Amino acid sequence: DKSKTEALEDDEIEEFYKILTERKEIDKIFQKYSDTEGFMSCQNLVRFLYETQREEDAVVAAPALIQRYEPNERAKRGNSMTKDGFLMYLLSDDGNIFSSSHRKVYQDMTQPLSHYFVSSSHNTYLMEDQLTGPSSTEAYIRALTKGCRCVELDCWDGPNSEPVIYHGYTLTSKILFSDVIKAIKNYAFKTSPYPVIISLENHCSVDQQKVMAQHMTTILQDMLLVAPVDGNKSQFPSPEQLKGKILVKGKKLSRQEDPTGTNGNNNLEAEDVSDEDEAAEIEDESVKTEIQQKGKVSKRSNRVPKWSRPGETSDTLKLAKELSDTVVYCKSVHFDGFEDPSHPRPFYEMSSFTESKALKLAQESGTSFIHHNIRHLSRIYPAGWRTDSSNYNPIDLWNVGCQIVALNFQTAGTEMDVYQGRFQDNGFSGYVLKPEFLRDEQTKFNPKSITEGTWGTKKKLLLKIISGQQLPKVNKSKNSIVDPKVTVEIHGVQQDNNKKQTKVVENNGFNPKWDEEFTFDIEIPALALVRFVVEDFDMSTKNDFIGQYTLPFTSLKQGYRHIHLLTKNGDPYSSSTLFVYI
């Protein structure tokens, strides 16, 4: 306040802003490529983009970047860039660590559906825990807008002949099946045009199954896939062929005529309804005790109110033909071992596995599991004991080609960060093409014993954590100023899993400087993800999480890059960043 008016004049505001946004580390880079008058010519920007940023189209990109980010009209007319324009470029999507070309769909979308990792949610209807938390259509909307392509519906008989969705045998609230189908219709393709899979866990009586089928048919209309698409009948159609379609995964009545309609008569044979009775896992005594301790369930009856456990009779529930007919490509079957190559099972048969069963198969029969997942879809879901809606690590299941690795989207943490990092790729479409060695029928790849093969060239990641900008004080209960530290983690095959961290910078969340270099050896780049985590160090208690950013190793951009940090819930901060050199 040079004018002593207790208010800042226009020129004082500008000067104050420059002090706040001063970035000496960027000034140093700019000076290297600028002339004595403080301008970076287009030719020098080309040189910077090519030499430092490793941009292949530097000659084309440079003039476009000047026009896009340079605020000074004189500089823009002279086809040059000022320091302000250079900073704006480095803070933009073009200066982001995540490859701009991977922000759109760039992968081949004409491969069979089983050749892709599919963003998938477990117990999608839950907003909180698995025992007493609320169910909501909002949870489906959130998942779908986050790119989720496979949602779960846990269906039970409800009053007035209307099926409801909730977590069976628990005190979670209930929502109407029809309301969920309406939400799916309205939000299925807001984020991605590629197919959505409705995974049914069906506990309804035959009558209410008919109601379910009617709701899906009348509400979804042409979106619902009810017949095979034209093409190869020995493998799945592609995401491209299924654009705008909603597929149902569930049990299908046994018949000589298969779901792809090749031949035979309709010899219907009833069978169990639910392919994986996740709700039955709640019958575990330890979980019952946990519900009882919440004081809402009678120990004497050991059950929730009568209509909350609908459809239970001494007879096994049977499957309505109307509901069976909605299942075309995703027929749920019990897994009874890997198939004999000389007697292959129909490609459209798929199984669901608890995380423990799937991890055991991955550990003991990795290559066989990979071969299985080339032709068949596999759905993995969290163990029943995860009543707090915690998540398992999806990496080990992706490493053996499992496509539908379902997580609790409502639960923040490392697992969900890694998950969203994986599906940030390929335009946030919810479908990521598996590496070639997880699609090749002759593959010998096994993530547990990496040998020489065609899984890509080993890479060395050299990075420098330079500085941070405007890191917030997340824990408001603490009076101290932020003491930030950065951890860099590699998530991939076992040999690649690693983490390294910077020193702590005391009392500076505004513009901390680290200037620390790290090196990581990456054996299987195609399966690796890189996670940057910023914490507020506390010597006496657990460090407070500030922000993180996770991306596939193959999406990393080289050179000087900003990392735009995300909150615990995966939302972007407005101005909290890390500045790094790759």
Residue 413 CA to residue 393 CA, distance in Å, equals: 10
Task: Give 364-376 pLDDT, tens digit per residue.
Answer: 999 999 999 999 9
For residues 421-432, average pLDDT = 98
248, pLDDT greater than 80: yes
Mean pLDDT is lowest, of 42-46, 51-55, 381-385, 461-465, for: 381-385
Q: What is the pLDDT of residue 132?
A: 74
More confident residue, 331 or 172: 331
Predicted local confidence at residue 314, as pLDDT: 36
For residues 181 and 462, what is the distance between their CA atoms, to the nearest angstrom? 48
Give the strand pairing for 116-118 and 431-433: antiparallel
The count of C-alpha atoms lying within 13 angstroms of the C-alpha of 567, restricted to the half-sphere facing its C-beta, is 11
**pLDDT, average across residues 532-536:** 97
Distant-in-sequence, close-in-space partners of 56: CB < 8 Å, separation ≥ 6? none
Find the catalytic residue in 102, 167, 376, 491. 167
Q: What is the pLDDT of residues 345-392, one digit of tens each?
A: 999 999 999 999 999 999 999 999 999 999 999 999 999 889 888 999
pLDDT value at position 370? 97
- Backbone Cα Rg of the chain: 27
pLDDT at res. 316: 52
What is the structure's pLDDT at 76?
A: 95
pLDDT of residue 419: 98
**What is the DSSP code (8-state) at residue 319?**
-
CA separation, residue 214 to residues 83, 136, 210, 436 (Å): 62, 21, 6, 41
* H/E element, 60: helix 58-69
Q: How does pLDDT run across 183-240, given as a tens digit for each residue?
A: 999 999 999 999 999 999 999 999 999 999 999 999 999 999 999 998 778 899 999 9
User: Is residue 15's pLDDT more than 90?
Assistant: no
What residue type is assigned to position 145 of the chain? T
* pTM greater than 0.95 (yes/no): no
- Burial grade of 416 (CB within 10 A; 0-12, 13-18, 19 or more): buried
540: pLDDT strictly greater than 60: yes
83-91 and 24-33 are packed helices; what angle lies between their axes, rounded to 10 degrees? 120
CB 278 within 8 A of CB 152: no
Give me the mean pLDDT over the 246-274 stretch. Answer: 61
**SS3 state of residue 128:** coil
Whether 203 sits among the annotated catalytic residues: the reply is no
Query: Of the given ranges (217-226, 455-464, 513-522, 554-563), which has the lowest mean pLDDT?
Result: 455-464
Q: In this model, does residue 284 exceed pLDDT 90? A: no
Q: Which of 122, 372, 376, 491 is catalytic?
A: 122
Q: What is the pLDDT of residue 12?
A: 72
Residue 371 annotated among the catalytic residues of the structure: no
Structural domains of the chain ordered from first start: 10-95 (1.10.238.10), 113-251+270-354+404-438 (3.20.20.190), 459-581 (2.60.40.150)
% residues pLDDT > 70 (the chain): 88
- As a dihedral over the C-alpha atoms of residue 402, residue 408, residue 413, residue 414, rounded to 10 degrees, the angle is 0
- pLDDT band (50, 70, 90) for residue 294: low
User: What phi and psi, each to the nearest 5 degrees, are found at residue 369?
Assistant: -65, -40
Does 499 or 135 have the greater pLDDT score? 499
